[in-house]
């Protein structure tokens, strides 16, 4: 091995590198992927939750030379509590470390998905993204006639007259529906205040209250309403801000790959059977937006 030639080659290669490479290293954009339904989906199945995402969120804000944290959002929504907690943690770290947060929506950023987008300082969408659905929904099934036809008797013993509220095997009571609506109204008000606080004067239109009726818009329409700041994709937008030398580091929440292996055969069989309903509900969440 000719050491002198190796040294000569290395020296020649280093001499070609601009001094700015060492004095001004490449800026980094941390990319945090938030894709899927928000909340616990069913036995053995979890969507976007703070518990699953917190370490990834913290790593994204702690990356070396990070200049911006970019959120890639593709979600039809889900649990309001998890939506609020994830968004709150992102905002806490953004403010604490003084790092800008920019959201980029993909197919859908609706309901809780838009709640997450509002954690960003700016929101960019594709022209065809589905944006909005600022409202609250509760859905389920009623099996009253089904169990009667099967000759099944429903036996429930409880203390507290509302303990069995909205039981799918009983007829709906007007008082129970009224109570549910009151809860939904409270959650909707929290969602509305989040949007108003984060979007502020960016919201346009003669009657902004129309934005909070659960309607949805394309990314192009959402820009005109002030729900998003512009149309754009992650890499071109960030390169326009930080230059062509910007580096992208991707972070995403990960589930435990050994969890299912460690559970018993009987438990896995039970979870598989129960998960059928959660899969249907997840599918229905996406199909609401034609996805």
Neighbour tally for 123: CB within 10 Å: 29
Q: Cα(193)–Cα(71) distance, rounded to whole angstroms? A: 21
Tokens representing residue 242 in the block: 């930080």
Reported pTM? 0.76
Place of tokens 């060492």: 22
Per-residue pLDDT of the chain (291 residues; tens, 9 = 90+): 555 655 565 565 556 545 554 555 899 999 999 999 999 876 556 789 999 999 999 999 999 999 999 999 999 999 999 999 999 999 999 999 999 999 999 999 999 999 999 999 999 999 999 999 998 877 767 777 777 777 877 777 778 777 777 777 777 778 878 887 888 888 889 999 999 999 988 988 656 678 888 899 999 999 999 999 999 999 999 999 999 999 999 998 654 444 444 444 554 554 554 455 455 555 555 555 554
Domain 25-135+192-287: assigned CATH number: 3.90.226.10
Place of tokens 């007259």: 161
- Residue ranges of alpha helices (H) inside the chain are 3-15, 20-23, 50-62, 80-97, 112-117, 144-149, 174-199, 219-225, 234-242, 259-262, 265-287
């Amino acid at each position: 091995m000719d050491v002198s030639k190796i040294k000569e080659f290395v020296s020649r290669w280093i001499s070609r590198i601009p001094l700015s490479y060492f004095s001004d290293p490449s800026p980094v954009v941390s990319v945090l992927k938030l894709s899927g339904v928000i909340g616990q989906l069913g036995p053995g199945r979890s969507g976007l939750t703070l518990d699953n995402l917190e370490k990834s969120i913290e790593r994204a804000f702690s990356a070396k030379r990070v200049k911006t944290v970019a959120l890639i959002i593709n979600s039809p929504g889900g649990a309001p509590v998890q939506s609020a907690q994830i968004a709150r943690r992102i905002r806490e770290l953004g403010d604490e470390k003084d790092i800008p947060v920019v959201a980029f929506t993909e197919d859908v950023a609706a309901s809780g998905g838009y709640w997450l987008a509002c954690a960003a300082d700016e929101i960019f969408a594709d022209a065809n993204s589905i944006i909005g659905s600022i409202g609250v929904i509760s859905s389920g099934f009623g099996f009253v006639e089904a169990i009667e036809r099967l000759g099944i008797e429903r036996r429930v013993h409880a203390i507290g007259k509302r303990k069995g509220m909205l039981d799918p095997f009983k007829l709906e009571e007007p008082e129970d529906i009224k109570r549910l609506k009151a809860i939904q109204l409270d959650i909707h008000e929290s969602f509305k205040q989040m949007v108003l606080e984060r979007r502020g004067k960016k919201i346009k239109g003669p009657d902004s209250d129309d934005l909070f009726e659960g309607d949805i818009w394309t990314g192009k329409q959402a820009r005109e309403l002030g729900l998003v700041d512009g149309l754009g994709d992650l890499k071109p937008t960030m390169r326009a801000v930080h230059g062509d030398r910007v580096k992208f580091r991707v972070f995403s929440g990960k589930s435990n790959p050994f969890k299912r292996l460690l559970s018993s055969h009987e438990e896995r069989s039970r979870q598989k059977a129960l998960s059928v309903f959660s899969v249907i509900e997840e599918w229905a969440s996406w199909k609401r937006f034609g996805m």
